[in-house]
Structure 1
Amino acid sequence: MRTAIVSPKVAVRTVLAGVAVVGLVVGCSPTEEGTPTTNGANGSPTNGERTVTFNPCKDLSDEALRATRVDPASKSVVTDPASGPTAWRICKWDAANGPYFVTVSSTYFTQADSRKNDKLTGFRDVQIGPRAGLTYQDKSDEEKLRCYVSLPTAEGMFEVTVGWRYGEPVTRDRCELAAEHATQLEPYLPK
């Protein structure tokens, strides 16, 4: 078993990154006339709760992860509830060739929901393989260390995020880098 020693500064930033993800999740809660929209894992109605079915933590193969130049062994689960409905399934991997990580999220929220989210900024359309992608950043990320690329899917969207490590010199545009990773992952993601 490995034990990691984390500096207080890194711990605080990790907590803040988690809060940002929760903020995105909370900021994207769609409703229909005041009631949460409903669909179960098979698309059928549930008790007012929906769940996302594609799970990047389990459904992305090592081949897909190596194709996008991340270390499959570095997987870190951000959110993947074992049971019950969920709006997001999110896993993170370390990049094999840079001081950043790549996060893959699956959600039933859509790109339209992202555009309506007042916590997000810098929207740009980008083509990711055959899909109409969208890049954006979190307004709270003042250092612009993260960039999100969303890809539409029948269920909602996938989000591929590049997050530069704090304290490392930034040598690449995060949105361009996120688009590269999204393009490499796109063939492995359900339509």
Structure 2
Amino acid sequence: MQFAPGYRRFAVPAFLGAAVAAFVFPPAGAVLLGVGAFVLWFFRDPERSPPDTPGVIAPADGHVSVIRVEDGRVRVGVFMNVTDVHVNRAPVAGTVTDVTHRPGAHKPAFSKDSDKNERVDIVVESDDGEYEISQIAGAFARRIHPYVASDDELGRGDKIGHIDFGSRADVLLPPEFGSEDVVVEKGQSVRAGETVVARRESP
């Protein structure tokens, strides 16, 4: 099993603490061992394969929490809870043209106020238009880790970053997409790099 970068920062202290506590106060050692195991599980990074069928794929594991039109473009957002994989993936192939960090609040990622949260916006120019992928922090997620930079070439489903301990990942579709092109519903479970969330049926 692969793990997202940064897992050692949380897992190693927990396992070292467990080793020491096992001789001093075994119950605390058991708790710390459990914490370390949880960190490894949380930072898991399983292999994913994009589908053969065309379409925009989910940027994150979780449940669809946002489908709305804003300024003539459709946004699809995926809320990640603590049980989901938190490695985010490119919904389309293309060239990264901009990566912007925007400071902000740390409201619960499933709330309406989360649009004002700290975020990283990744703009990707694809064959069918410009996409914007947003990694949005939540109440407990304090660190966003983008893996990409301007001029990087991305394949569909490539890893683009992860968020420590929860939050949301959105994809803002090009203006050519309409609400009718979204093929998922709010509350639906999706998998990063595999589930198609939007598909244009007409040119």
TM normalised by structure 2 equals 0.32
TM normalised by structure 1 equals 0.33
Higher RCO (C-alpha 8 Å, min separation 6): 2
Q: Which one has the largest radius of gyration?
A: 2
